[in-house]
Structure 1
Amino acid sequence: MSVIAEIIDTLENKVGKLILKIQNLENNNQELKVELTKSAQIIERQSTEIEALKAQYETLKLASSLLGSDENKRDTKLKINSLIREIDYCIAQLSD
């Protein structure tokens, strides 16, 4: 009988250790989920900021071209021509 009792004791110890490991892993998993959520929010915020900065850059580049910068004259001319075409289209739509 003592052999069976020893086996049961060792099984109880091993089961207890396994339960502790499972709890630790669940806690770790929860912490990782929180960290992942925070990282996703940071990435989203940074993506939004990047898009805003790109728009600002394009606006500044266009303004620089309009002020006489030689670097972007072609882009400025194309943008102005595009705007003129859009205005002409709007006028034509209003005329109909």
Structure 2
Amino acid sequence: MSVIAEIIDTLENKVVKLVLKIQNLEQKTQELQVDLTKSAQIIQTQLTEIEALKAQYETLKIANSLLGSDDNKRDTKLKINSLIREIDYCIAQLSD
């Protein structure tokens, strides 16, 4: 009987160790999920900031070309033509 008792004790110890490992892994999983959520929020914030900076860059590029820079004249002319077309379209809509 003592052999069976030793086997049962060994099995019980192994089960307890496995339960502790499972609990540790679940805790680590939760921590990783929190980290992942924080990282996703940081990425979203950075993407928003990048888009704002791109828009600001385009605005500065157009303003620079309007001030006489030859670098972006073509882009500025295209943008102005696009704005004129939009204004003409709005006027046509209002006229109807």
Asked if these proteins are the same fold (TM beyond 0.5), I'd say yes
CA distance in 2: counterparts of 1:54 and 1:89, whole angstroms: 27
Percent sequence identity over aligned pairs: 86
Name the TM-score, length of structure 1 as normaliser: 0.95
Deviations 1:64-88 (A, max 9, x none): 0110110000011111111111111
For residue 26 of structure 1, what is the aligned residue in structure 2? 26
- Distance between the aligned counterparts of 1:2 and 1:14, measured in 2? 18
Deviation at 1:15, TM superposition (A): 0.5
Residue 19 of structure 1 deviates from its aligned partner by: 0.8
Give the superposed CA RMSD: 0.8
Structure 2: state its 5+ residue gaps: none
Paired residues, number: 96
Unaligned runs of 5+ in 1: none
Matches within 5 A, 1:6-85: 6-85=6-85
